[in-house]
Amino acid sequence: MHAVTGHYTRVARNINMERLRNNYLFPEISVLELEHIKKYPNAKVISLGIGDTTEPIPDIVTLSMADYARALSTREGYRGYGAEQGNKALRKAIAETFYGDLEVKDMEVFVSDGSQCDISRLQLLLGSNVSVAVQDPIFPAYMDSSVIIGQSGDYQDETLKYRNVEYMTCGPKNHFFPNLSTTSRTDIIFFCSPNNPTGHAASREQLEQLVAFARENGSIIVYDSAYSAYITDESPRSIYEIPGAREVAIEISSFSKFAGFTGVRLGWTVVPEELLYSNKVPIINDFNRIVCTCFNGASSIAQAGGLTCLSSEGFQAMLAVVDYYKENAKILVDTFASLDLKAYGGVNAPYVWVHFPGSRSWDVFAEILEKTHIITVPGSGFGPGGEGYIRVTAFGHRETILEASTRLRSLFP
């Protein structure tokens, strides 16, 4: 950042912004990609980095959005503000489609413009006076938003961690699940399953341990299930499959990665009525207040598309696209296996987590980019537990994934 001269205000910078260690991970990678393209203008750069979907949204979904948008130009079809909490029909469809007999009510579902935005709204709800635990490694929005809201202390160069945050190491040695017997009690536990970046889906037994731990400690779990559509085994798709979870957990999820809505923007948060503060006030009341204060509701056009996604025909079309990405992941997993590199994930999630023992993540990122023109994500960007790994995404056209496989095989013969 360049120094600024001339007039300046007398407003002090938010001390929490000063605590942020780096720029947000993914825009930083985009900058490096642009620099690489300038250096090699004739190279065909393949991005296996930022987890952005690539396959077209099925016609049945886009036509419903187009029809809704066209109707807005008629007196009969025009609609203005909708309910801040979301279209009632869509809330009901989400509850029925994703939660079935798990007792989730449509009024407990809050439709949003994506789970990442909901993370920040939840942080606003929780405030700066709560203690937090995060998986390590983990999607950086949890940690960065915790810093911004004031839940953390200063960054420590010697540990590569922020003070006042409980880092729950989740690696191969502990089956990608924290050792709760040595985990300190915190007010909030951020937990993502299937995990971004490792691709691990927590087992039923693991989630039972997590819920029991939260209940014993009087904690709240913020559970991110954005990749649940990719689960292929018996791992729970929702935290509410675990008895007692409704009293300790908020769940956020998204249409982005199962319906290709990364640009359309649509997600949801579930806040059960049974979830109470220490003074026995229902948390859903305060979250409703936050939503009504900070949000005018998700796009009505996006919600029309979301409703079609959850129709019988639309849902099957969505799952076909998910299967396409799963096959991409299998190709990548097989590629790394053939190179004698240990790769995790790629089964219950669209991410492959690849280990390079003894190497620094940013060095591996740089070498792969320089020699193969492939963008990955350095694992250390997800926390100190990610050092020595890179994350590779299965989002991509099949021909691109196959070409990336060929290039990687040539780099690590």
Task: Quick: pLDDT tens for 163-222.
Answer: 999 999 999 999 999 999 999 999 999 999 999 999 999 999 999 999 999 999 999 999
Residue 4: per-residue pLDDT: 63
Domain of residue 295, residue span: 60-311
Domain boundary among 283, 311, 339: 311
Q: Is residue 11 one of the residues assigned to a domain?
A: no
Shared domain check, 341 and 307: no
Number of domains in the chain: 2
Q: Is residue 4 one of the residues assigned to a domain?
A: no
Domain boundary among 256, 290, 311: 311
Residue 25: per-residue pLDDT: 81
Q: What is the mean pLDDT of each run of 10 residues along the chain (413 residues)?
A: 77 93 80 93 94 95 98 97 97 97 96 96 97 96 95 94 97 97 98 97 98 98 98 97 98 96 97 98 98 96 98 96 97 97 97 97 96 96 96 97 96 79
Q: Is residue 192 one of the residues assigned to a domain?
A: yes
3-state secondary structure the chain: CCCCCCCCCCCCCCHHHHHCCCCCHHHHHHHHHHHHHHHCCCCCCEECCCCCCCCCCCHHHHHHHHHHHHHCCCCCCCCCCCCCCCCHHHHHHHHHHHHCCCCCCHHHEEEECCHHHHHHHHHHHHCCCCCEEEEECCCHHHHHHHHHHCCCCCEECCCCEECCEEEEECCHHHCCCCCHHHCCCCCEEEEECCCCCCCCCCCHHHHHHHHHHHHHHCCEEEEECCCHHHCCCCCCCCHHHCCCHHHCEEEEEECHHHHCCCCCCCEEEECCCCCECCCCCEHHHHHHHHHHHHCCCCCHHHHHHHHHHCCHHHHHHHHHHHHHHHHHHHHHHHHHHHCCCCEEECCCCCEEEEECCCCCHHHHHHHHHHHHCEECEEHHHHCHHHCCEEEEECCCCHHHHHHHHHHHHHHCC
Shared domain check, 302 and 206: yes
Residue 26: per-residue pLDDT: 80
pTM: 0.95
Shared domain check, 223 and 307: yes
Say which CATH number the domain at 175 has: 3.40.640.10
Residue 107: per-residue pLDDT: 98
Shared domain check, 158 and 85: yes
